[in-house]
Structure 1
Amino acid sequence: MASAVLTAAAPVAAAAPARAAAGTEGTVPGCRSVAGLLAVPHAGRGVEWLREALQVAVALELATIPPYLCGWWSVGDRTSHVARLVRRIVGDEMYHMGVVCNLLVAVGGRPRIPDAALAYPGPLPGGVREEVNVYLSGLNRPFVRDVMMAIEAPEAPLARGLNSSPSIGHFYDDLMNAFRATAPELSSHGQLSERIGADVLEPVTDLDGVERAIEIIKEQGEGTTSSPDDAFGDDYPAHYYAFGEIYHGRQLRQEADGWRFTGAPVPFPDARPMARVPAGGWRDAPQRVQDLLDRFDTSYAKVLSTLEAAWTDGDARTLRSAVRTMGSLEAPALELMEIPVRGGSGTYGPQFRPPRA
């Protein structure tokens, strides 16, 4: 987690505040907000608290995947540096979701994944970073800054000013502290083992495993206390800094007075001009668009239900089936991104409407 503030300026301005919509859309069904969970005295944070907090964590990790997928799908040249950065981050987020699902199963819970799906646009689940409005769009600089960087922003990033809003990393810190204090019995029954992206999901059976799993989530997203690098992976920077390189058009480089986006150029790729999905989804769309949206949302609902079944049954084959179905989302998404919005600018794109919407 990045906790040292160095001198390079990399401002992150959030999109229009989501506070007005946060009352219902930002809550996870059956769970308190993160603020409500963190208001519970430490002595009251037992196994039930852990289960509730981990369900919120499932929703948080799931919420990042649709906007990142839209950004990746919109890039024309998938071999470009930016496309590879975003694709890797999508894989990391899928892995993070798998980790928190395993942790929830380990303490006797069951992930409720369709219930956790966010309706876009809206605030992050649980009221985390409630100033951030998460919307779906093709890749452009405002989207990178206002959604991608804003989601991943650490408490005190190495290359920008302080942000008073609590981060996802803060929530995970409290989760880890509750695991240590409670020391719950951890069951491997129902946990899954599977390669996801560049990482290998493994059952968590002791507190050391819990700590490592949570540190991976935090450091892949935010970096370490002294470096923007992903300490557990390869030479790629942590997500916040990778998105910063895309936004600023330069790689992050350590100089005598701190980290700055002054390194090698990072050309912004040509991208399909997918317009921002409006509240409530695309209304009065042409029939061809509506057919593609229905096809996409039906498959998305299947992804969510199959993921839930994978952890309900403890079956890695079901998880692989969900991943295959997720891959099938790309074709209708790309078709939508080629159709101009009627009466507007840009093109249509997937809306990732959850089954209950």
Structure 2
Amino acid sequence: MTGTNEHPDGPAVTPVGRRGFLASAALAATPAPLAATPAAAEPADGAAAAGPADEAAAAAGHRAVARLLAVAEGDRGIGWLRAALQVAVQLELTTIPPYLCGWWSVRDRRGEAARLIRRIVGDEMYHLGVVCNLLVAVGGRPRIRDAAPRYPCPLPGGVRAGVRVYLSGLTKAFVRDVMMAIEAPDTPLARAAASPPTIGDFYGELQRAFRRTEPYLSAEGQLSDRIGSDVLEPVTGLDDVERALEIVKEQGEGTESSPADAFQDDHPAHYYAFAEIYHGRRLRRTARGWQFTGAPVPFPDARPMAPVPPGGWHRPPVRVGRLLDQFDTTYAAVLDRLDEAWGGGDGRSLGAAVRAMRAMEEPAVELMETPIPGAPGTYGPQFRPV
């Protein structure tokens, strides 16, 4: 939201600082329930039960953040930072596939909802770049392919415990139960005090650990590039670390402080952008506080991609199997190129990863337009690298 917008049904939106926005908007945006993955009735032609390997992968590191935060602040050294930043790599990578599925499913990319999701996808890619640069800066190496989850899955590390991330076309339930649930704000007005740590909590602890440890930050192996609307740059000092992590927090769920004094020149945090799609209206300040009564954000016509079941699509038709293999092979190439990029500071590999990611869209959309025999909805990408 930028500037002051008029709406015929109510008062104008008045510019306001982010601190005041969060204090009232958290009340306006109903926190998403921690929903379970939609259940498939019986795993027939479209589904398969998750095997032991999938269950082990989903459980791996589930309590990693709790263990990391249980370490006394005085004992959080370089090893702690490296372990925490690898969890951050997993967190950022886990958000991108569901957001891509939601975006790809929208038929009209010119609509407001599609543009909001596309911006957020770019932000998440930038966040992944930030935490990879930070990990390299403290002498670590991001393990990106190892971090790729098998969906449906919990959020890595145990943040937002109870949230199950699944892949689906865009529906109101998907916006509420996945998109808004992932980005739920780190503010006492939006969650109970005893709730599990949010992503913002986790990044706040990372900021404190960097300030206390004051590690040497090497620029060797870090990457720079334009990603979405942001410019990824090497971090070489604590001010760079603070700025980078604050942007990640600010863009995602929002924080109670902002690097900018005024909110009107800023995009809404991801949680509130998704909430605008869910409520079908822009968030605006009225005489009764912040409410979703602004300009319309029509819910878009979306391809009816069914939620990907545990274990992926089981016994798909031959043509669908080929598309799934094509997609998953390309996705594996994206992850491998990203590993190469941060394994040796190779900007060319980063460019190759971006090109490969663009190539995933065509088979994804084709899958989303292929009905599932004997079941509602269509197929979709399952993001299982081969």
- TM-score, normalized by the shorter chain, greater than 0.5: yes
Q: Report how far residue 256 of structure 1 moved.
A: 3.4
2:58 to 25, 42, 45: 25
Does the 8 A contact of 1:296 with 1:332 survive in 2? yes
Please give the secondary structure, in 1, of the residue aligned with 2:84: helix
Cα displacement string for residues 261-310 of structure 1 (whole angstroms, at most 9, x for unaligned residues): 11111100000000000000000110111110011001101100110100
Q: Would the alpha carbon gap of residues 26 and 201 (structure 1) be closer, same or farther in structure 2, given more than 3 Å must change?
A: farther
Taking the TM superposition and a 5 Å limit, the aligned residue runs for 1:86-105 are: 86-105=117-136
- Which residue type is aligned with residue 294 of structure 1? D
Secondary structure of the corresponding residue to residue 89 of structure 1: helix
Distance 1:17 1:139, change over 3 A: closer
The match for 1:8 among 11, 25, 28 is 28
Change in 2 beyond 3 A, CA 1:254/1:36: same
State the partner residue of 2:78: 47
- The answer on whether the counterparts of 2:90 and 2:156 sit within 8 Å (CA) in structure 1 is yes
For residue 285 of structure 2, give the secondary structure of its aligned residue in structure 1: strand
Residue 324 (str. 1) matches residue 336 (str. 2): no
User: In structure 2, how many angstroms separate the alpha carbons of the residues matched to 1:118 and 1:283?
Assistant: 18
CA distance in 2, matches of 1:126, 1:7: 27
Q: How many Å apart are 1:315 and its aligned residue?
A: 1.2
Measured after TM superposition, the shift of residue 4 of structure 1 is 3.0
Match of 2:268 in 1: 237
- Structure 2: stretches of 5+ with no match in the other structure: 1-17, 39-49
Kindly report which structure 2 residues correspond to 1:187-336, keeping only aligned pairs within 5 A, or say none: 187-225=218-256, 235-336=266-367
How far 1:235 sits from its partner (Å)? Answer: 4.3
Residue 38 (structure 1) aligns with: 69
Normalising by structure 2, report the TM-score.
0.85
Count of residue pairs the alignment pairs up: 350
AA at the equivalent of 2:101: C
> 1:17 deviation in Å?
7.4
> 2-side partners of 1:203 and 1:161: how far apart?
34
Greater CA drift, 7-16 or 210-219: 7-16
* Map of 2:90 onto structure 1: 59
Question: Is there any run of 5+ residues in structure 1 with no aligned partner, and where?
Answer: none
8 Å CA contact retained: 1:273, 1:347: yes
Q: Measured at CA, do residues 291 and 304 of structure 1 come closer, stay the same or move farther in structure 2, by a change above 3 Å?
A: same
Cα deviation 1:301-341 (Å, max 9, x = unaligned): 11001101001110111101100000000010011001001
| Structure of greater Rg | 2
**Displacement over 6 Å in runs of 4+:** 20-23, 229-233
Return the letter of the residue paired with 2:100: L
Aligned residue among 173, 182, 204 for 1:151: 182
61 and 234 in structure 1: CA distance in 2 versus 1, 3 angstrom threshold = farther
The question of whether the paired residues in 2 share the 8 Å contact of 1:10 and 1:161 is answered with no
Following superposition, the deviation at residue 156 of structure 1 comes to: 2.2
Q: TM-score, normalised by structure 1?
A: 0.92
Report how far residue 225 of structure 1 moved: 1.8
Shift of 1:11: 3.7
Distance 1:151 1:270 in 2: 23
C-alpha displacement at 1:257, in angstroms? Answer: 3.9
Distance 1:259 1:335 in 2: 40
Cα offsets for 1:99-134 (capped at 9, x unmatched): 000000000000000100011001011111121000
CA distance in 1, matches of 2:230, 2:263: 10
Cα distance in 2, alignment partners of residues 78 and 166 from structure 1: 34
Instruction: Tell me: CA distance 1:161–1:187, structure 2 relative to 1, closer, same or farther (3 Å).
Output: closer
Q: What CA distance in whole angstroms lies between the structure 2 residues aligned with 1:50 and 1:9?
A: 33
SS of the residue aligned with 2:23?
A: coil
Residue 138 of structure 1 is matched in structure 2 by 169
What amino acid does structure 2 have at the position aligned with 1:333? A
Q: Could you tell me which residue of structure 2 aligns to residue 338 of structure 1?
A: 369
CA–CA distance in structure 1, aligned partners of residues 117 and 264 of structure 2: 15
Aligned partners of 1:286, 1:125: CA distance in 2, in Å?
Answer: 32
